[in-house]
Structure 1
Amino acid sequence: MPETTAPASSSAAVEFGVLGPLRVALGGTELELTAPRLRTFLAALVVKAGAKVGVNELADAVWGADLPRNPRRAVQLCAVRVRAQLERIDAAHLVATCPDGYRLDVPADRTDVGRM
């Protein structure tokens, strides 16, 4: 998979939170992700913002011991669906594809975890 990187300025206003319910906000606009698997997928990326999270780690986070038949494809579908949700606030580009994983392209200080 080709690696994608977002311009730094495009992520400046998007904030992510995982301490408490998952929170994604751009300015005053809150994005609500209702699907539990998508929330878990995005939360795993938020916790390691700016770093690659491997496909196996994402699959374990989302499905635990009850892995789907094709975990790599299932993780890929989560990425596609999360990007589709993030597109509502013009932020789909923040979920970058890396070799064998994904990365949330925001500085750590744009996450509640990173500010701790």
Structure 2
Amino acid sequence: MEKKDALASLAALAHDMRLDIFRLLVKAGEDGVAAGEIAAALGTRANTLSNNLSVLSSAGLIRSVREGRSIRYFAEMEGMRALLAFLMEDCCGGRPELCRSLLDEIACTC
């Protein structure tokens, strides 16, 4: 992951609603959550939700699939894994293999 991509991901998550959206999608796992269900769960309007979903999508943290007239959203765990790998790249005194198990565990949770 490039530094600019890491900054985009961190900026996307540095907003209370976007962080709540991402955590909701992580919790939903492979089932994802329809846009209307996200709005209801977070008590937000559709246009506000749409803007926040767009930011998360552009940062590579979520993906969507159209289901007829609805759109279902999913956490993009590979994007989060890449962000965490970037942040932990030089961890443990330059021995990133010590952090590998944590990154592998994150990748396997979804």
* TM-score, with length taken from structure 2: 0.49
Whichever of the two has the greater Rg, that structure is 2
* TM-score, with length taken from structure 1: 0.47
Higher strand share: 1
Higher helix share: 2
